[in-house]
Amino acid sequence: MLRPSIERRFAADLAAFGFVARNAELLSAEARRLRLVGVIETLGRSVALEMDLRLEAAALSEMAENTRDDSDFRVPRVEWDYTARNVLTMEWIDGTPLSDRAALAARDLDLPRLGRALIQTFLRHALRDGFFHADMHPGNLFVDAEGRLVAVDFGIMGRLRPEERRFLAEILLGFITRDYLRTAEVHFEAGYVPAHHSVESFAQAIRAIGEPIHKRTAEEISMAKLLTLLFEVTGLFDMRTRPEALMLQKTMVVVEGMARTLDPRLDIWTTAEPVVREWIAHHLSPAAQFEGAAREAGQLLARIPGLLRRALRVAEQIDLATCRGVALTSEVAAWEREPWRLRWGMIALLAIVALLAWWGW
């Protein structure tokens, strides 16, 4: 249930944060690079979603569908008949809080296994589903009687588009395999690093990040030093903050920290590797890429009749305009404003149709 006056209090806080961010960007180039205004706007959109508990229930329901076959993770069931804008009713969860390490140990649970499951669950949701719980702090996670992780509080959720999932998978795989050049290339392909910088120089910089933590256990890694180095590298290469990735980055840090409390000797890269490689095999292998290209070609073919009908209408209207003086419609105006883009698009479509017909023959 929403607390009384919570919307008004959040609105006041966001207004104050926005005032500080706008003035900081006016005065500081570093603040503009960090895109503080964009960060506050992202936070504001997230808060707006949290204020309607029907949307939280929908997020919970969506994640339940995504994870119904997962053996080590589940979410509570929504009681839709008792859910409204200000009230969310869901299944009662009996479990041990993940924050209570002593209680987990008293249950004789395999804590290292739980740590691995936590890392792999989060990555699976981000990569496989493109939809992840973005507030996975210890108070929102429990371990049920079957030893499964159970998450609650779905007010803050994150989404990744297909291209963002590819970038994430390739960057993680690059660190896992120590292929720093490919990792650097992905950053440039994604637009994370401005094009005027050198790929090789950036690869050298991220090698300085990756090598000290490769094959090290969690207890041997100083996250403070690592984050400091990452921040210095982003400044050195003019990397601007990407507000859409903030929830992913924040949640990754929190999840990694929880996993460390369960298993101080956890190897993050070894734990992440099976999930990353599975996603790569399903989406970036030659067979997967061919299947994706065929699917896109099918979608394009489905649009061809409509595009051809539009082209015929445009041709008829041009004929009327030139022969009878009829006024141009908006479609003809668009054709005349961007003739080359539209005409070359039609030529490309016809070429694809011919190629696919020849291929089928």
Known catalytic residues are: 135
Which DSSP string corresponds to 61-120?
A: HHHHHHTTT-SSEE-PPB-GGG-BTTB--B-----EETT-HHHHHHTT--HHHHHHHHHH
* CA neighbor of 63 nearest in space, from 53, 72, 71, 73: 73
258, 114 in Cβ contact below 8 A? no
One DSSP character per residue, 251-267 reads HHHHHHHHHHHH-TT--
Handedness of CA 26, 28, 32, 37 (dihedral sign): negative
What are the CA-CA distances from residue 124 to residues 68, 168, 275, 280, 285 (Å)? 13, 12, 6, 12, 18
Per DSSP, what are the bridge partners of residue 203? Answer: none
Output the six-digit token pair for 244. 């859409």
Spatial contact of 107 and 244, defined as CB atoms under 8 Å apart: no
Q: Which amino acid is at 181?
A: L
Return all residues near 112 (Cβ < 8 A) that are at least 6 apart. Answer: 262, 263, 265, 266
CA atoms within 13 A on the CB side of 188: 16
